[in-house]
Amino acid sequence: MANTVTVKELVDSSGYIVLSGEEFLGNKITTSEISRPGVELTGFFNFYPSARIQLLGKTELTFIERMTAEERLIVMRRLCSKETPCFVIGRKLQAPAELTKAAQEAGIPILSAQSRTTRVSSNITNFLEGKLAERVSMHGVFVDVFGMGVMITGDSGVGKSETALELIQKGHRLVADDRVDLYQHDENTLIGEAPGILRHLIEIRGIGIIDVMTLFGAGAVKQTNEVNLIVNLELWSKDKKFERLGSTEEIVNILDVGIPKITIPVKTGRNLAIIIEVAAMNFRAKTMGYNAAETFERNLEVLIKENAQKND
């Protein structure tokens, strides 16, 4: 679980311009919440959330311009708390000289963003929620199949990576092999990505580790993806019953997000890549309101009623 993000990571990901305090880019950001100091500019600091990124837009800067230079310096110094990671100014507006002075004294960088302030707030929040979110790791292979995030799980040696390689050859994209890092984006969305050391790599027994991007091109890999479906590969056994109609759906809760799961028996001669493609398309059809299992059950009920009427 990541506890902090540096201001430099924010700058590198966003392209924001450092107006001052470049030597302080190592400051830690510990929360994804953003503060737009409004009442604080009037001198009310009773509930000042100093540990948040402080975002200033046209409204705040226009109010600041109405102050005298002495008043501005007093307020800016109170804004520059030792817990404050950085200031961000939207719309490429200039930082007041008093803020630059106070921030330099307190060791706080000031960043400039091009977008309007509400967009900047949204972008920063999304970035920080992804970086600061609770994370778990799962053993498996994660691929993008027809735009659906499919995580392939199963015992070691069942054929997960080989199946993923065939899917890549068919034009689908690898997100992660062997280990998938997962975090909650919101209450309904789970995001998966590869650990940095494993990014773009896949291990095939007998060959070793291969770089998918080098062999298949940049279009064969993806950095992150929403997890939509879990496909569990399980060695076939005559003693185990597998779902035949698909009328019952198993849900796995990961970080409080429910993910549908299906189990596919692995048996000699089965083309798992094609089966997973069909599973992804079938899942998409269900999300669009069409369920083949329900259609079959309705047809079966009609047939039973028709046969019953014939026998009467």
Are residue 173 and residue 122 in the same domain, yes or no? Answer: no
Domain boundary among the residues 63, 98, 132 is at 132
Are residue 100 and residue 142 in the same domain, yes or no? Answer: no
Q: Is 161 among the annotated ligand-binding positions?
A: yes
Q: Is 50 among the annotated ligand-binding positions?
A: no
Average pLDDT (56-73) is 95
pLDDT class of 287 with cuts at 50, 70, 90: confident
Report the percentage of the chain scoring pLDDT > 90: 74
Considering the domain boundaries, does residue 302 fall inside one?
no
Are residue 119 and residue 155 in the same domain, yes or no? Answer: no
Counting the structural domains of the chain, the total is: 2
Of 72, 178, 200, 222, the catalytic one is 178
pLDDT class of 247 with cuts at 50, 70, 90: low
Residue 293 confidence (pLDDT) above 80: no
Of 241, 244, 310, 312, the catalytic one is 244
Of 28, 92, 116, 139, the catalytic one is 139
Are residue 113 and residue 143 in the same domain, yes or no? Answer: no
Considering the domain boundaries, does residue 303 fall inside one?
no
Check residue 295 and give its pLDDT: 74
Average pLDDT (116-141) is 92
Considering the domain boundaries, does residue 211 fall inside one?
yes
Check residue 242 and give its pLDDT: 65
CATH code of the domain covering residue 230: 3.40.50.300
Residue 179 confidence (pLDDT) above 80: yes
Whether 160 sits among the annotated catalytic residues: the reply is yes
Q: Is 155 among the annotated ligand-binding positions?
A: yes
Decide if 250 contacts 262 (C-beta within 8 A).
yes
Q: Is 217 among the annotated ligand-binding positions?
A: no
Average pLDDT (222-243) is 87
**Cα 290 to Cα 245, 294, 295, 299, distances in angstroms:** 14, 8, 8, 14
Whether 178 sits among the annotated catalytic residues: the reply is yes
Are residue 281 and residue 217 in the same domain, yes or no? Answer: yes
Considering the domain boundaries, does residue 284 fall inside one?
yes
Are residue 180 and residue 234 in the same domain, yes or no? Answer: yes
Residue 20 confidence (pLDDT) above 80: yes
Rounded to two decimals, the pTM is 0.73
CATH code of the domain covering residue 59: 3.40.1390.20
Whether 200 sits among the annotated catalytic residues: the reply is no
Q: Is 157 among the annotated ligand-binding positions?
A: yes
Domain boundary among the residues 92, 108, 132 is at 132
Whether 244 sits among the annotated catalytic residues: the reply is yes
Residue 1 confidence (pLDDT) above 50: no
Considering the domain boundaries, does residue 277 fall inside one?
yes
Considering the domain boundaries, does residue 309 fall inside one?
no
- Mean pLDDT of all residues in the chain? 91
Are residue 127 and residue 141 in the same domain, yes or no? Answer: no
Q: Which residues form the domain of 191? A: 135-295
